Structure 1
Amino acid sequence: MINAVTSDIATIGRINAVPAILQVICETTGLRFAAVARVTENSWTACAVLDTLGFGLEAGGELDLSTTLCNEIRSSHQTIVIDKASDDALYCQHHTPRIYHFESYISVPVFRADGSFFGTICALDPKPANLKGSAIQPMMESFARLLSIQIESEENAQRTEAALQKERAMAELREQFIAVLGHDLRNPLFAITAGAELLTKRNSDPRSQTIAQHILTCGRRATQLVQDVLDFARGRLGNGIVVNIQPCPDLDSALRHVASELQRVHPQRMIRVRIGDLAGIQCERERVAQLLSNLIANAISHGAEDGPVDISADIRDEVFMLGVHNLGQPIAPQIMAQLFQPFSRPLDGAPQPGLGLGLYIANQIALAHGGRMEVVSSSEAGTLFSFRLPLGQAPLPAPAPATS
């Protein structure tokens, strides 16, 4: 119960309207002490106080419940109004006015949204005041209803915040687990692929060769998936993918090699390459090659099967432009908004190869270089993914949202 009352005090403390409510009560009634009290079956605790009287009570302070009139309000759920306690037929002999030396007093019950009793809004003063039959009682009862709504709203907000914090902690734990798992899988996968390569070279039996080649292909595929997971973890848990930017005089050959590799894997698809003069580019060769590989794989997966995949690389106006274009259905606007988010999938739920990290990692590589990814998609022109990297100048500004 103590923890619950402490929580209630904190809740009232976060409601910005409470000080204003107490100020209005004091100014309207002329009473110099007002408070919001949490009242339980065995405790009276001040949650918020406005005291110009010198009553000596602050937020968190407690009174003996049996000495207060709030205990009676907790039982009756009725407002108590006293103009002058020493002349009041009901309260002239009551112990509470004598203990706390007040003449005028008003206290209204406060209920939670579910109807349970929370406490009171009360005010008092040693001097008499004309409270009965005035607009003061309905005003304070309106304040009590407002406070009830505010309490419910604040508690809902706190529950939402707590759930959000818990989810964030769980998400971080999952991502850390992914990072550790991906890191620990690299060594056994390396052993599998190395062993499969050795078997393909030393075993002349055609059937064994086929099995070894299958193991090698699966091992390489698993290795790439693990690498994608590690890149994802670096992007989410760290400061993004780290790149080693340096002069790259052979970038054109690296890009052609990526296209050639994917052409061998997909011999039924037409992959066309057009690469201009790339002299003067500084980047991390392997990461840009990885970016291109992810874009080509995406184009092959989602582009028209009978249409070409066109790769272009050039320098225009001191900006390195690397593009991958495919024909086919345009990207829907609702997908475009989350295109570079991890684990993104088409809305139709059709099975897709990989983890859905390719475009996310490509975007992280672009950002790590100080560049950006752009995409334009329409039914007439197809889809074009572009990596734009400024050469010898400030990073490019963020692009306007793409349209289809």
Structure 2
Amino acid sequence: MHDSNQAQRDVEAVACIAAVPKILEVITRTTGLRFAAVARVTDDRWTACAVRDEIAFGLQPGGELELRTTICNEIRQHRQPVMFGHASENPQFADHQTPRLYGLESYISVPIHRSSGEFFGTLCAIDPLPSRVESPETLQMMELFAELIGAQLESDERHALSQAALHTALDVAKMRERFINEVSDDLKEPIQALVMDAYLIKTTPGLDAQTRARVADMETNLWRMAALVGGIVDFAYDKLVTGAPLSRTPAATLAGELQRVLTQVVSAYPQRALATHVRIDADVDCDPARLGQLMVNLAINVLRHVASDVTVSLDASTTAGELRLAVEAPGLALPDDALDSVAGPITRRPGMVREPRAWDFFIAGEIARAHSGGISVVPAPGGTRLSFAMPLQALQDVMPVATSNAIAAG
């Protein structure tokens, strides 16, 4: 069944096709028939969707005719065009109910199909006076116009469906963001509590060395969990993507943020020898919190791979045109594929057992990309330096992340 609401939607769909009024004007001027219309024809309704009326026929868009009184109903069934220029002298239509009921002498109507082949209705023209419309050229013109309307209807419907799907996807994304944000907030409090408990246990007098070491490992993993929760929230809100908004950050503000996160790293690894150095002398176009997260990511990666008795240097500084964050340690060696995750998450084949990666720079790489910067590994005296560099001023065109690996052989 074709209800009135659907009929109204069909009228609106045709009204959205800007070319229809001009098509109807061309038809009336070319054929001489003074009434032209686009009609939606179903198995129970004939509805005018667009009208050009120069004979005061009385139909407006949304108006209806009784379906069984129309030739369009016959066209709906046999899907062939119908045309005649003088009904009273036409053997087939002289006694037909439609010309007699509506006082028609001239008539032409062609079916409108969507590009999928589905029947929509008709493009028709009528006049109470005889005319010479029965020509191949007129029929071809009407069929071309009908084909254009049908194709545009389907195109518009597909666009509407795409928009609806987009809105649905956006609604789902908003629900996902809300869920992730709420879960992340719920996780932060117990993680912080566990960090405090681990610290209290670790500092308990008389605790044996083995238990103290295990608690220290627990504390390290808890800090990593906190960083991962922050990363999940960032991805939920698309904050780590290329082109993320960067703001001019005063040197003192950025220095304070980096010093804060380095202090957290020192607190999280009290048993390690860490040398921190922050010298920010210029304003930087950046997201300070994300750069702090990047610094922590670099530090954690390095601390997991160097001996516990070596001194690890954590440096943040500005030069004439760059901001640099670096982690350096004696004996540090990165494998050739260490920076693979900078370009994206490692793809795993179906069924592959998930193994923890020794090095993981994916989040750091996304932050670097958003800041038009790059992560690199270069030789340093007595070891290797893992560093990030970015321009002080945001670039117009975001550069791809540089991932050079210049580790000296041996």
TM-score, length basis structure 1 = 0.72
Contact 2:50 2:61 in 1 (8 A): yes
The alpha-carbon deviation at position 10 of structure 1 amounts to 3.6
Partner of 1:96 in structure 2? 98
The percentage of aligned residue pairs carrying the same residue is 32
Q: Which residue of 2 aligns with 1:131?
A: 133
Q: 345-354 vs 178-187, which deviates more?
A: 345-354
Give 3-state SS (helix, strand or coil) of 1:135's partner.
Answer: helix
User: Does 2:218 match 1:215?
Assistant: yes
Deviation at 1:79, TM superposition (A): 1.7
Given candidates 151, 167, 170, the residue that maps to 2:169 is 167
Distance 1:347 1:299 in 2: 23
Q: State the partner residue of 2:41.
A: 39
Change (3 A) 1:358 1:134: same
Equivalence map 1:5-404=2 (5 Å)? 5-202=7-204, 204-206=206-208, 208-233=211-236, 247-248=252-253, 278-279=280-281, 281=283, 288-295=291-298, 313-317=316-320, 319-323=321-325, 328=336, 339=343, 344-347=344-347, 356-361=362-367, 372-375=371-374, 385-390=388-393, 396-400=395-399
Deviations 1:170-224 (A, max 9, x none): 1221122111111111112222222222222227453544553343333222222
**Greater mean deviation of Cα atoms: 209-218 or 178-187:** 209-218
TM-superposed CA distance for 1:29, in Å, is 0.7
Do 1:228 and 1:361's aligned partners in 2 also have CA atoms closer than 8 Å? no
SS in 1 for 2:396: coil
Offset of residue 34 of structure 1: 1.4
Contact 1:298 / 1:358 at 8 angstroms: preserved in 2? no
CA contact (8 A) 1:295 1:362 kept: no
Deviations 1:138-188 (A, max 9, x none): 221233333333333333333333222222221221122111111111112
Q: Which runs of 5+ in 2 are unaligned?
A: 305-311, 328-333, 379-384, 404-410
Residues 106-159 of structure 1: CA distance to partner in whole angstroms, max 9, x if unpaired? 111223444443211111122221011341112212333333333333333333
Distance in 2, matches of 1:117 and 1:251, equals 66
Q: 2:232 is matched by which residue type in structure 1?
A: V
Query: How large is the RMSD of aligned CA atoms in angstroms?
Result: 4.5
Q: Kindly state the Cα deviation for residue 280 of structure 1 after the two structures are TM-superposed.
A: 5.5
* Distance change in 2, residues 1:299/1:81 (3 Å): farther
Question: Per the alignment, do residues 247 and 272 of structure 1 end up closer, same or farther by CA in structure 2, a change over 3 Å counting?
Answer: closer
Letter in structure 2 aligned against 1:346: I
1:216-271 deviation per Cα after TM superposition (whole angstroms, max 9, x unaligned)? 3332222222222334445559x96999857256678668768978999999xxx9
Is the 2:40–2:48 Cα contact (8 Å) retained in structure 1? yes
Structure 1 residue 397: Cα displacement: 3.4
Q: Deviations over 1:275-328 (max 9, x none)?
A: 795346588876543332335567999xxxxxxx998754444x4522559884
- The residue type paired with residue 364 of structure 2 is G
Work out whether residues 232 and 361 of structure 1, in 8 Å CA contact, stay in contact via their aligned partners in 2. no
Aligned-partner Cα distance in 2 for 1:166–1:285: 34
Structure 1: gaps spanning 5 or more residues: 302-308, 365-371
State the number of aligned residues.
372
1:313-363 per-residue CA deviation (whole Å, 9 max, x = no partner) reads: 54444x45225598846989xx98xx5xxxx41356685657943333456
Q: Secondary structure at the match of 1:49?
A: strand
**Cα 1:146/1:256, change in 2 over 3 Å:** closer
8 Å contact kept, 2:259–2:278: no
CA distance in 2, matches of 1:9, 1:138: 25
Q: Distance in 1 between matches of 2:402 and 2:233?
A: 31
* Distance across 2 between alignment mates of 1:377 and 1:247: 26
Instruction: Read off the aligned partner of 2:372 and give its amino acid letter.
Output: M
| Structure 1 counterpart of 2:221, one-letter code | C
Letter in 2 for 1:130: R
For 2:159, what is the secondary structure of its paired residue? helix
CA contact (8 A) 1:251 1:278 kept: no
State how far apart, in whole Å, the 2-side matches of 1:181 and 1:190 are: 15
Whole-angstrom distance in 2 between the partners of 1:131 and 1:144: 17
* TM-score normalized with structure 2 length: 0.71
